[in-house]
Structure 1
């Protein structure tokens, strides 16, 4: 018993500095991530607003799943996920493979160009895209006119609004995946490609059988993170469409904001937050289950 106590004390002493350095992050994570989730879960069972807090049980959740606007917001959110995640990943792979191996100055230029939107305010970028999509003097309709096509109401037509925002979100998010894939490409040994050249493999076969399998750990990270970002789409909706037309671009995050800070229904908004947390968790776990078996970390 005494020997076990001594070993435990030595283990704690040996891990002291590790625990010391992660403590600030752990404390902040608990305060700003774990606690808000627990608090939101608690408030989701109340009719909670300014000056009132009444226990109503599951009524908020019942109200959500019988509300056509919320159900459409779920569909729109999954539309963002299914639209932005594959496009972001495929374009990131294409751009990274194209850039990789180019002259260092040219490669640095493209790295900076693609990464610039990541570090730029999404509000500013949204305002730029509002001008691009302007039906009167926007670049998008001007480009269509060069081919003799009629102007499109990009942000006020239900047929195009969601697709237009998906394209904008892709431009916001694609920079970081490109940088990550470029870094991963640099870690692939050239010996694999030399062996493939000796066997007479084509460029496509080298890409498909060497590059993509060795990019799987990075690919998994990019797909999971891109999914989380897509589920939390808010700024571009707020700035460009306000959820319209006719809720065609309203996402769960936008509806949550509207419910909490416009209508003051904090209990109902908390229920929305729990729903989106559950959706993100389920989708992320499913992605790990589907892809992790093929990934060698």
Structure 2
């Protein structure tokens, strides 16, 4: 009891200050997540409440087998989208940040602000813009094709290329967060490293590859993780650009969760799919941490 009083006297104010944030997190994040896990093992109805299922994993089995295994197709589509978008975001962000880093402070600030503008734009607005660009009748993409003598393409209505069109729209969107964070990380690298490498005869590409890239590894890890999570959870872009889904060709994990939970009111299956998504994100994040973690300090 004396130890508890000493602990409260020493750390009580610290915990009092973070208590509002802890309560908010518990009520609006932790509790719904736990409740969703419970629902994933139940046949849940808004009217009748929940009823435990036999076998207990029935919702998870249904998630993978309903409608001819569309959830499996959604997982595959999500993985394809994630691989291309995360790779392009990291590479484009790294290249753009490297190009603006040698500029003056004023120009670096200008380009950082310019590249960050898409990040403050609503995802729905960006999705609508790309939907207009890929419109089969009067979209800008087909206008360019007709201008060079090529036939128009059904970008968002052809099931063979619809997912590729959505992925292309994400790839061609400037990765604002990556540019800003990579630029800031490069600016914190001591100049002495580059001067020493230059004295040893290292060229610009060699200095970039052997000094810049390794020393921003922690930033790269952070960006890879957050971009992977965002890609796994893609919904707005799909919902706006291809609301009909074009069959199952553009179905993703989150669109399946939305359809089951909010259209069909099948909350048990939707919760099961949500936890499948959680496990996938956690597993990928663990692999990324193991591959990209760095103990470099400077």
**Does TM, scored on the shorter chain, surpass 0.5?**
yes
Structure 2 residue ranges without an equivalent (≥5): none
What is the DSSP-based 3-state SS (H/G/I as helix, E as strand, rest coil) of the residue aligned with 2:60? helix
Deviations 1:127-177 (A, max 9, x none): 111111111221222222333322211111223211221233345571111
Aligned length: 292
CA distance in 2, matches of 1:266, 1:117: 34
Contact 1:259 1:266 survives alignment (8 Å): yes
What is the DSSP-based 3-state SS (H/G/I as helix, E as strand, rest coil) of the residue aligned with 2:43? strand
What is the DSSP-based 3-state SS (H/G/I as helix, E as strand, rest coil) of the residue aligned with 1:54? strand
Contact 2:235 2:255 survives alignment (8 Å): yes
Paired position in structure 2 for 1:19: 15
- Pairwise CA distance, 1:295: 4.1
What is the DSSP-based 3-state SS (H/G/I as helix, E as strand, rest coil) of the residue aligned with 1:48? strand
CA distance in 2, matches of 1:249, 1:83: 15
Q: TM-score scaled to structure 2, two decimals?
A: 0.91
Paired position in structure 1 for 2:25: 29
Question: CA, structure 1 residues 173+48, in 2 after alignment: closer, same or farther (shift >3 Å)?
Answer: farther
Matches within 5 A, 1:33-182: 33-52=29-48, 53-56=50-53, 57-67=56-66, 68-170=69-171, 174-182=175-183
Contact 2:86 2:227 survives alignment (8 Å): yes
Contact 1:237 1:243 survives alignment (8 Å): no
- Pairwise CA distance, 1:11: 4.7
Deviations 1:247-282 (A, max 9, x none): 111111111011111111111111111111111111
CA distance in 1, matches of 2:223, 2:286: 14
Contact 1:99 1:110 survives alignment (8 Å): yes
CA distance in 2, matches of 1:164, 1:89: 20
Alignment partner of 1:296 is 2:293: no
Deviations 1:206-248 (A, max 9, x none): 0110000100010000001111111110001111112621211
What is the DSSP-based 3-state SS (H/G/I as helix, E as strand, rest coil) of the residue aligned with 1:25? helix
Contact 1:158 1:248 survives alignment (8 Å): yes
CA distance in 1, matches of 2:244, 2:154: 15
The Cα RMSD (Å) is: 1.9
CA distance in 2, matches of 1:70, 1:204: 44
Contact 2:93 2:175 survives alignment (8 Å): yes
Paired position in structure 2 for 1:202: 203
Deviations 1:44-101 (A, max 9, x none): 1112133233322211111112231111011111112111111110010011111112
Contact 1:243 1:250 survives alignment (8 Å): no
Q: TM-score scaled to structure 1, two decimals?
A: 0.91
